[in-house]
Structure 1
């Protein structure tokens, strides 16, 4: 595993896809022999799989390393928010504590008892902590990593799971150094801290470890972004997409990655929305399954942290009301969603304008043209694309409001 500085030089990972090559081949084959009706059940199964895929992330390390603060940061919560992990408490339990993601209930972060708070062997510890439950492990330290941390990492690797070293509270360390010196080079000091971590772990038997220097209170600084990228890149297709959607909206880049993932769901929902056919303009509200459309937009809002619960948390931090926030960002998609609301917004207007023109979609390489843009597929597809674009713009505005309040 390379260190964080080398990770920063790597190319950006591709957006996760929902399908394996085997699944794509089956879609092509089924479409060729039975058309849309044949692939619709396969897509329904895939959407259901997406909604029910579990992601369990274990966070371990010695007591006082900042595990709870880190878990809250990963869930987009402050310590005062409902459901937040308690910060600054003395560790007394030897049982894993699970914290559900605020809008994706199948994503859970698990706070494992500190490795330094008990006598254990790495193997017995992992057995007691229900090792097989977790997709990967994050080992957190506030200072130097210990021999116990290294032993645990070696055992995790032996058992075939991924692990990542996180050096927390780097902001406090750098501030302390800054106050003690007349001249201070932050990048150079971070390099020294990282090299020391790598050296200590190397002596303990972890060659070339990947170490991320972060502050859970300053997620837009240090190695936090590169940690998120590494965690996502270490997951298979669907779990990678779930992880991306579970990230807190801390940057425009994260919002963009979420939108890319959500776009991949739109064409599946469009196929599921109804029977192919031309659409008279007056019947637009019946041109597609409004239940699917409205349900998708509600899901998009949650993933982009635009639902009332997420806006309520932001309102508490900014001293505003939820209604004030909605008024500030001015988006009709944040209110009650009905067919008339969607009609008034002219979502899907492009599809009306080209209703007699065949549009070629290449969502699945090799399938080619599916429907004309005037079909129920076309209407649902264009409505959801327009809605997602509007929600992305709204999410960026909300991010700007949050940053002004910091």
Structure 2
């Protein structure tokens, strides 16, 4: 009994973490007082919230430090790509400029004008940048953090916002050191640079500064994974989910994180399919909403970087022909999703949909117990779960084909 209870609690936390504790209590009480009809609007609102929530990331610092390169890398773009931020050693930004994520336009990176220029001296800058609109700040500096960076951090802190210091171009710095010294230990040199940055910021009045060393060319190297984990921990749950889904597919670990986030949507979409005027799939006695199924699969595919535009960007980043990445993508989930494809998938699922009842309850003990009796819920849950598994496996193969490594393989 104890083991089963622990398993259920773990599954519940995994699948319902987009809901607060109060929201989960509200779901239960509404079901008890009004049944499925009273719960459905609450789940629909949560799905809408996920689709519409914005994440605004401010990237700031002095001119020529690598802000534009960082913004492009976070969006999986290179400087010559359409929509990329212009890379220049001179200050080219004269006002806050938004750069939307190419696949998830609600994720916006803002290139703020460099602090400390003639046009934007520090005091004027702090007043005019409208800091309150941003969720967090990345302060870019190279080769060292300056007095203006410290003033900027102190103002951000005063406003109650999070900020993180990033020193980019670390690979270029390491190459320069390597050429100068006969004996070179990369980890030791990285720690020396990191310690120097932290000490300098502490001496300037920043307590417990968080400093991350980032590559200009390979975002996933050095401290990027550590920066990403810190951001995930600091962001509220809905924005954390959006941030993870917007990450470029640079490692297998990122793919696995995305799957975990998308899995949280499966039971919500299945719940809606079970009660919102289910449209029967031709030839199948069990009903499910085709629009919800198709929309869910297309969204999963986009977040996992399997749409054509994402594959082209990744191929360019990896220096591989896009045909080489497309060659490892297999199965019906990567083509056009039509009612006919859903019909064929549903035929394969009908034999296991009844036996899947316990599986559903194991994975979603709170809401599964509410909707589990409905065949539409079970059918949609089964189809979406299978589609997500299939797409995740394709995304893993693409990352391996792009970068030729099993590093960070969670399997």
State whether TM-score is above 0.5. Answer: yes
Q: After TM superposition, where is structure 1 displaced by more than 6 Å over at least 4 residues in a row?
A: 276-282
Q: Which runs of 5+ in 2 are unaligned?
A: 1-13, 406-411
Partner Cα distance (1:348, 1:384) in 2: 14
Partner Cα distance (1:348, 1:157) in 2: 57
Q: Which secondary structure state, in structure 2, belongs to the residue aligned with residue 273 of structure 1?
A: helix
The alpha carbon displacement at 1:78 in A equals 1.4
Partner of 2:399: 399
Partner of 1:263: 263
Q: Which runs of 5+ in 1 are unaligned?
A: 1-13
The alpha carbon displacement at 1:361 in A equals 1.9
Partner of 1:320: 321
Partner of 1:338: 338
Please give the per-residue CA displacement for 1:206-263, whole angstroms capped at 9, x wherever unaligned. 0221100111311232101111111121111111111111111111111111111101
The alpha carbon displacement at 1:364 in A equals 5.9
Partner of 2:83: 83
CA contact (8 A) 1:347 1:383 kept: yes
- The 1:319/1:229 distance shift into structure 2, 3 A limit, reads closer
Partner Cα distance (1:62, 1:68) in 2: 12
Partner of 2:102: 102
Residue 236 in 1 paired to residue 254 in 2?
A: no
Partner Cα distance (2:347, 2:90) in 1: 55
The alpha carbon displacement at 1:334 in A equals 1.2
Partner Cα distance (2:262, 2:356) in 1: 26
Partner Cα distance (1:95, 1:138) in 2: 17
Partner of 1:8: none
Partner of 1:7: none
The alpha carbon displacement at 1:284 in A equals 2.9
Partner of 2:67: 67
Alignment of 1:13-162 (within 5 A): 17-88=17-88, 90-118=90-118, 122=122, 124-162=124-162
- The 1:301/1:231 distance shift into structure 2, 3 A limit, reads same
Aligned residue pair count: 391
Partner Cα distance (2:329, 2:368) in 1: 39
- The 1:196/1:119 distance shift into structure 2, 3 A limit, reads farther
CA contact (8 A) 2:114 2:120 kept: no
CA contact (8 A) 1:24 1:364 kept: no
Please give the per-residue CA displacement for 1:260-290, whole angstroms capped at 9, x wherever unaligned. 1101011111011134999999733862111
The alpha carbon displacement at 1:371 in A equals 4.1
Partner of 1:9: none
Residue 309 in 1 paired to residue 309 in 2?
A: yes
The alpha carbon displacement at 1:349 in A equals 3.8
Partner of 2:204: 204
Q: Which secondary structure state, in structure 1, belongs to the residue aligned with residue 163 of structure 2?
A: strand
CA contact (8 A) 2:262 2:300 kept: yes
The alpha carbon displacement at 1:120 in A equals 5.6
Normalising by structure 2, we get a TM-score of 0.87
The alpha carbon displacement at 1:356 in A equals 7.0
CA contact (8 A) 2:116 2:122 kept: no
Partner Cα distance (1:163, 1:127) in 2: 17
Partner of 2:187: 187
Residue 352 in 1 paired to residue 378 in 2?
A: no
Partner Cα distance (1:47, 1:15) in 2: 14
Partner Cα distance (1:132, 1:145) in 2: 23
Partner Cα distance (1:66, 1:183) in 2: 29
CA contact (8 A) 2:138 2:164 kept: yes
Please give the per-residue CA displacement for 1:295-350, whole angstroms capped at 9, x wherever unaligned. 1000001101111211232355555355x643332232111111222344x46845
The alpha carbon displacement at 1:127 in A equals 2.6
Please give the per-residue CA displacement for 1:97-140, whole angstroms capped at 9, x wherever unaligned. 11000111111000111113247665642331111111110000
